[in-house]
């Protein structure tokens, strides 16, 4: 229908008559009533004008050339699809046959000729009033159809006495079927309902008819295009005077978008957005189900917690985008290596977990863990780079008399941490010893916090001696813990715990401040060339306040920056080399020297070493201890000394215990040494005595010379 019909302010009337006088007579009469008028001389012209203008009403003579009024009326009715235009036919006086023929052709009314204008005008007003009512009904239907379209809703009417079922046009559109494909009974619709949902629809219908109350049900339907469609049906009952249900009226609404949105939300709640693996929430839910499964008597449930080794290096050096791509690749490989009955989840970061049911023995789960380790060690090629990160796996297996979920997870995590502590790229089965060790670690963490507050830490100093002269040039500050009950606790017993808990940062800050204070004190006592070396942990090095902490320690102690040496390990330099270089350069500009500790035991390449702003290399004791045996360590030590010289770096050898060691270092041009040959690490008061004795010896040598 032309939209102008709904927006027209004044009725438009088409007058069709082959007689000019009669046509003008009617035209003038209609215009005097305020109507707009268009005219035609025959039925064919009328048909064309109807198509073009969609008039509000047609006044048409019966007898005309080319196409008479009957044929024109019938043709107009054939082309109308919804709203019928009123057609007032002009017939001869008392021509009953013409009147009947007009109505058969589709006329709305008739008036005899010659036309009586008052009666004619009344008939026109009546026709237009009927037309206005039809238009209002049509507008209402349009609004209703639009609402149904927006709501994706249609309706049906089921006559229970005849079993005839009427479907609205919206239902056909909704289900993408034509009326020819649907029989007028319920079986046609039932045939489109998913088999899994059919019973609940039948049950809802039967219960509604049995008890006489409405029903609502949601179910899936099979579309011709095979796409998923979910609809909601609601039905009301119509009863006769005797209370018998005679009809059922219902609506069908498409709920697919809402269903898919809920599915998406549900997926986001239970699945990891990066890897699409089950997340922590679903992992716990699946574990609860596995542990609570009835009849689980013969086999156990195993949890494997998997943590990637050195994944942080990838993230920090190559960026999170590459890190995410790597995690997705790892997740895909792990998924391929597990059974569909197992639950592989990503718990967060680089931590994964696996639930395995039906475990009959430790050997069974060990085979699975070995397979996972092999999978994890496979290289991945991302952005043209080959990336490898092995994994540490902790395993906990439920017992028949103990299936506590939280305890099982804790056990698997303890085993995983143990696997990581002993080098990674391996798996560990939980045992009670790990629990005891974890408990001791927890106690130690608490005691370390108290130790920091109560001032239980002390600093020992080991001299750094000039190889050529034997004069003490400086010292390395080494922390010790004077426990009130356990006595002197060596660093290897508590430093790993401090590293894991982050306490190494405040502990390292205290050592820096105490070593700077003590060194300044020795300077004031006359030993004014001493340089103190302070070890810096990885966490302390990357701590955002570290530069300020160094400045604060120097300012508070009054120690000049040139008398402070920061000893870093190779692991400090492995992430984001540009940032590390910039960081070290900041210290160099302050006048602080930088030493690379334990050189040769890490992963630094010569090209990286050449880029770092270093002053000193420290050769690890492992390359010194067997020198007298003439083994390869001697050759390696010579190589490191030669390399340091080529890079114009000074060299300090650790672990010097014998005269042979010292002679070797002298002959190969090493600058300084540390070791028990002169002194182990000692408290500040003993180190002061050592300084005085060394100073006297040096003065005596000068006198002899």
pLDDT tens profile 562-585? 999 999 987 777 667 788 888 899
Secondary structure element (H or E) that encloses residue 343, with its range: strand 343-348
> What are the residues whose beta carbons fall under 8 Å from the beta carbon of 558, sequence distance 6 or more?
520
H helices within 525-570, ranges in order?
Answer: 538-541, 546-557
Give 648-687 as a 3 state SS string: CCEEEECCCCCHHHHHHHHHCCCCEECCCCCCCCEEHHHH
Residue 91 domain flag: yes
Are residue 124 and residue 174 in the same domain, yes or no? no
pLDDT at 111 over 80: yes
d(C-alpha 2, C-alpha 515), whole Å: 94
Six token digits for residue 171: 């239902």
Mean pLDDT of 372-393: 88
pLDDT at 92 over 80: no
> 495: helix, coil or strand?
helix
Residue 437 domain flag: no
The residue among 148, 179, 200 that closes a domain is: 148
The CA R_g of the chain, rounded to the nearest whole Å, is 47
Are residue 501 and residue 627 in the same domain, yes or no? yes
Are residue 166 and residue 105 in the same domain, yes or no? no
Q: Which long-range contacts (CB under 8 A, 24 or more apart) does 680-683 make?
A: 680/462, 681/460, 681/461, 681/462, 681/476, 681/478, 681/480, 682/460, 682/461, 682/462, 683/458, 683/459, 683/460, 683/461
d(C-alpha 536, C-alpha 557), whole Å: 19
Is 508 in contact with 495 (CB distance < 8 Å)? Answer: no
Please tell me the predicted confidence (pLDDT) of residue 3. 47
Work out the burial of residue 483: count CB atoms within 10 Å of its CB; fewer than 13 is exposed, 13-18 middle, 19 or more buried.
Answer: middle
Domain range enclosing 221: 152-260
Residue 208 domain flag: yes
Are residue 66 and residue 117 in the same domain, yes or no? yes
Are residue 67 and residue 109 in the same domain, yes or no? yes
Residue-averaged pLDDT of the chain: 85
Please tell me the predicted confidence (pLDDT) of residue 629. 47
Residue 467 domain flag: yes
pLDDT at 64 over 50: yes
pLDDT at 326 over 50: yes
Please tell me the predicted confidence (pLDDT) of residue 603. 46
Please tell me the predicted confidence (pLDDT) of residue 400. 56
d(C-alpha 363, C-alpha 371), whole Å: 12
Angle at 292 between CA 286 and CA 293, to 5 degrees: 90
The phi, psi pair for 295, rounded to 5°, reads: 80, 5
Measured over the CA atoms of residue 274, residue 276, residue 277 and residue 278, the dihedral's sign is: positive
DSSP character at residue 193: B
Residue 436 domain flag: no
d(C-alpha 687, C-alpha 680), whole Å: 10
DSSP character at residue 620: -
Express each pLDDT in 240-287 by its tens digit. 888 888 888 888 888 888 877 777 877 788 899 899 999 999 999 999
CATH, residue 125? 3.40.50.2300
Please tell me the predicted confidence (pLDDT) of residue 628. 64
Residue 435 domain flag: no
Please tell me the predicted confidence (pLDDT) of residue 542. 85
Is 208 in contact with 237 (CB distance < 8 Å)? Answer: yes
DSSP character at residue 247: E
Banded pLDDT at 152 (limits 50, 70, 90)? low
- Count Cβ atoms below 10 Å from residue 207 Cβ, excluding itself: 12
**Which one, of 425, 431, 466, lies nearest residue 698 by Cα?**
466
Secondary structure element (H or E) that encloses residue 356, with its range: strand 351-359
The phi, psi pair for 16, rounded to 5°, reads: -120, 115
Higher pLDDT residue, 348 or 186? 348
pLDDT at 95 over 70: no
Half-sphere exposure of 31 (CA within 13 A, CB side): 10
Are residue 242 and residue 278 in the same domain, yes or no? no
CATH, residue 476? 3.20.20.450
Give the position of tokens 């020819």. Answer: 180
Is 89 in contact with 62 (CB distance < 8 Å)? Answer: yes
- Count Cβ atoms below 10 Å from residue 78 Cβ, excluding itself: 10
The phi, psi pair for 103, rounded to 5°, reads: -65, -35
d(C-alpha 105, C-alpha 98), whole Å: 10
CATH, residue 235? 3.30.450.20
Are residue 213 and residue 232 in the same domain, yes or no? yes
Please tell me the predicted confidence (pLDDT) of residue 5. 54
Secondary structure element (H or E) that encloses residue 492, with its range: helix 491-501
Are residue 562 and residue 532 in the same domain, yes or no? yes
d(C-alpha 60, C-alpha 58), whole Å: 6
How many percent of the chain have pLDDT more than 70?
89
Pairing of strands 12-16, 36-40: parallel
Give the position of tokens 């005899």. Answer: 112
The residue among 148, 179, 214 that closes a domain is: 148
> 112: helix, coil or strand?
strand
Please tell me the predicted confidence (pLDDT) of residue 531. 97
pLDDT at 471 over 90: yes
d(C-alpha 412, C-alpha 303), whole Å: 6
Banded pLDDT at 600 (limits 50, 70, 90)? low
Please tell me the predicted confidence (pLDDT) of residue 23. 86
Highest-confidence segment of 119-128, 131-140, 593-602: 119-128
Are residue 25 and residue 13 in the same domain, yes or no? yes
d(C-alpha 484, C-alpha 646), whole Å: 49
Mean pLDDT of 113-138: 81
Entry pTM: 0.51
The residue among 260, 284, 315 that closes a domain is: 260
Angle between helices 432-454 and 504-524 (to 10 degrees): 40
H helices within 19-158, ranges in order?
Answer: 20-32, 43-53, 69-79, 96-105, 117-151
**Which one, of 462, 402, 411, 460, lies nearest residue 433 by Cα?**
411
Are residue 298 and residue 180 in the same domain, yes or no? no
Mean pLDDT of 497-509: 90
Lowest mean pLDDT among 6-10, 29-33, 417-421, 479-483: 6-10
Is 1 in contact with 83 (CB distance < 8 Å)? Answer: yes
DSSP-assigned states of every residue in 447-488: HHHHHHHHT-EEEEEEEEEETTT--EEEEEEEEEEEETTTEE
Are residue 130 and residue 156 in the same domain, yes or no? no
Pairing of strands 228-239, 215-222: antiparallel
Please tell me the predicted confidence (pLDDT) of residue 140. 61
Q: How many domains does the chain have?
A: 4
Are residue 452 and residue 424 in the same domain, yes or no? no
Six token digits for residue 152: 């994706």
Residue 601 domain flag: yes
Residue 49 domain flag: yes
């Amino acid at each position: 229908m032309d939209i102008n019909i709904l927006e027209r302010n004044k009725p438009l009337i088409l007058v069709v008559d082959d007689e000019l006088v009669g046509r003008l007579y009617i035209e003038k009469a209609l215009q005097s009533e305020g109507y707009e008028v268009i005219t035609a001389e025959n039925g064919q012209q009328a048909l064309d004008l109807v198509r073009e203008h969609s008039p509000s009403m047609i006044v048409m003579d019966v007898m005309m050339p080319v196409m008479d009024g009957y044929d024109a009326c019938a043709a107009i009715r054939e082309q109308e699809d919804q709203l019928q235009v009123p057609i007032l036919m002009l017939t001869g006086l008392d021509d009953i046959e013409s009147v009947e023929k007009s109505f058969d052709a589709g006329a709305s009314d008739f008036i005899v000729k010659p036309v009586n204008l008052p009666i004619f005008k009344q008939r026109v007003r009546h026709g237009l009033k009927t037309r206005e009512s039809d238009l209002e009904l049509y507008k209402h239907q349009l609004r209703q159809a639009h609402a149904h379209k927006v709501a994706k809703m249609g309706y049906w009417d089921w006559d229970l006495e005849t079993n005839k079922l009427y479907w609205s046009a919206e239902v056909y559109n909704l289900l993408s079927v034509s009326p020819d494909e649907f029989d007028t009974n319920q079986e046609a619709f039932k045939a489109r309902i998913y088999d899994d949902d059919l019973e609940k629809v039948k049950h809802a219908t039967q219960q509604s008819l049995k008890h006489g109350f409405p029903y609502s049900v949601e179910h899936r339907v099979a579309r011709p295009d095979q796409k998923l469609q979910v609809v909601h049906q609601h039905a009301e009952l119509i009863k006769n005077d005797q209370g018998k249900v005679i009809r059922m009226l219902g609506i069908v609404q498409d709920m697919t978008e809402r269903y898919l949105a809920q599915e998406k939300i549900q997926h986001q709640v239970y699945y990891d957005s990066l890897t699409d693996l089950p997340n922590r929430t679903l992992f716990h839910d699946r574990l609860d189900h596995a542990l609570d499964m009835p009849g689980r008597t013969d086999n156990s449930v195993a949890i494997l917690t998997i943590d990637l080794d050195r994944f942080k290096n990838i993230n920090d050096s190559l960026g999170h985008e590459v890190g995410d791509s790597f995690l997705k690749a790892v997740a895909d490989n792990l998924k391929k290596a597990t059974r569909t009955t197992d639950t592989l989840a990503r718990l967060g970061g680089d931590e994964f977990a696996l639930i395995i049911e039906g475990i009959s023995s430790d050997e069974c789960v060990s085979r699975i863990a070995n397979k996972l380790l092999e999978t994890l060690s496979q290289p991945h090629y991302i952005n043209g780079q080959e990336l490898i990160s092995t994994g540490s796996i902790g395993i906990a297996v439920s017992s028949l008399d103990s299936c506590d979920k939280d305890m099982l997870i804790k056990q698997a995590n303890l085993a995983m941490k143990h696997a990581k502590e002993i080098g990674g790229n391996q798996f560990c089965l939980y045992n009670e010893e790990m629990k005891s060790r974890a408990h001791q670690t927890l106690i130690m963490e608490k005691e370390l916090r108290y130790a920091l507050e109560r001032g239980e830490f002390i600093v020992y100093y080991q001299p750094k001696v000039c190889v050529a002269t034997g004069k003490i040039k400086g010292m390395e500050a080494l922390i010790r813990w004077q426990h009130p009950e356990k006595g002197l606790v060596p660093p290897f017993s508590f430093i790993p715990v401090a590293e894991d808990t982050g306490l190494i940062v405040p502990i390292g800050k205290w050592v820096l401040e105490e070593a700077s204070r003590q060194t300044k004190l020795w300077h004031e006592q006359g030993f004014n060339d001493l340089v103190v070396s302070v070890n810096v942990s990885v966490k302390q090095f990357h701590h955002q306040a570290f530069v300020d902490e160094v400045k604060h320690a120097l300012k508070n102690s009054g120690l000049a920056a040139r008398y402070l040496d920061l000893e870093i390990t190779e692991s400090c330099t492995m992430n984001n080399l540009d940032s590390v270089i910039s960081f070290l350069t900041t210290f160099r500009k302050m006048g602080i020297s930088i030493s690379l500790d334990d050189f040769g035991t890490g992963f630094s390449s010569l090209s990286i070493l050449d880029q770092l702003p270093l002053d000193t290399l420290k050769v690890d004791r492992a390359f010194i201890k067997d020198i007298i045996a003439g083994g390869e360590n001697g050759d390696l030590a010579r190589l490191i000394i030669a390399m340091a010289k080529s890079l114009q770096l000074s060299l300090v050898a650790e672990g010097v215990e014998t005269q042979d060691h010292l002679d070797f270092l002298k002959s190969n041009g090493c600058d300084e040494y540390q070791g028990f040959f002169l002194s182990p690490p000692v408290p500040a008061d003993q180190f002061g005595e050592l300084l005085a004795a060394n100073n006297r010896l040096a003065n005596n040598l000068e006198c002899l010379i």
